[in-house]
Chains A and B, each alone.
Chain A
Amino acid sequence: DVKVTQSSRYLVKRTGEKVFLECVQDMDHENMFWYRQDPGLGLRLIYFSYDVKMKEKGDIPEGYSVSREKKERFSLILESASTNQTSMYLCASTIGARGDTEAFFGQGTRLTVV
């Protein structure tokens, strides 16, 4: 079974903390994505990566950074968490540069910043 695994299902952090969200895929996929999901706003792309050490900004990168040191792992970093970053975070991966391939998603991390 193909798998995208996010390190935590639920996380509670304090304002100002540095937060790491980890995502690991076991499919040898080149592309990985981080989204946040909010009611009425759908999935909004934060960052994506098409190769090791490569990263591209999505539509809402402010307040976030990412790291991809290994092909299978893509980390999302909140440098200084704020309450408006309370959300569901979803990681996804796809194979290569082909646009017709299926994206596989993790189960999500529900982050609450207090």
Chain B
Amino acid sequence: GNSVTQMEGPVTLSEEAFLTINCTYTATGYPSLFWYVQYPGEGLQLLLKATKADDKGSNKGFEATYRKETTSFHLEKGSVQVSDSAVYFCALFYNQGGKLIFGQGTELSVKP
């Protein structure tokens, strides 16, 4: 079936470090891919998305590229800030069936 797998956390970085959070997926067809973020004490919100192969989603300095050949959608940021500390979820929407499914989440902690 369809699934999303993320790298395990927690990830702890110093401010201004480079961030990569790995995400791979299993799906037939061409799902849309998303990254959602959950800041402490808040609900989930969309960070970025990509709807077809080779699309790059970007927002707030974060980027992710839809790689069909490696079934991946890794999240990157060149220089993290303390305010980026949150839990990040990779997700896919599979049109055939209408399911929106999520990975297990990766907690990021950025230290000053």
Q: Could you list which residues of chain A lie within 8 angstroms of chain B, going by C-beta atoms? A: 31, 33, 35, 40-45, 48, 50, 56, 58-59, 90, 92, 94, 97, 99-100, 102-103, 105-108
Main secondary structure on chain B at its contact with chain A? strand
Task: Indicate with 1 or 0, residue by residue over B78-112, a CB within 8 angstroms of chain A CB atoms.
Answer: 00000000000101011101111111110000000
Number of interface residues, chain B, beta carbon within 8 A? 27
Q: Could you say which of B14-22, B44-52, B69-77 contacts chain A? A: B44-52
The answer on a CB contact under 8 Å between A42 and B97 is: no
Interchain nearest-CB distance for A27 vs B (Å): 14
Known contacts: A40-B104, A99-B93. The answer to whether A106 contacts B98 by CB under 8 A is no
22 intermolecular pairs with C-beta atoms under 8 Å apart: A35-B102, A40-B104, A42-B103, A42-B104, A43-B89, A43-B105, A45-B100, A45-B101, A50-B98, A56-B97, A58-B99, A59-B1, A90-B44, A99-B31, A99-B32, A99-B93, A99-B94, A103-B36, A103-B44, A103-B46, A103-B91, A105-B44
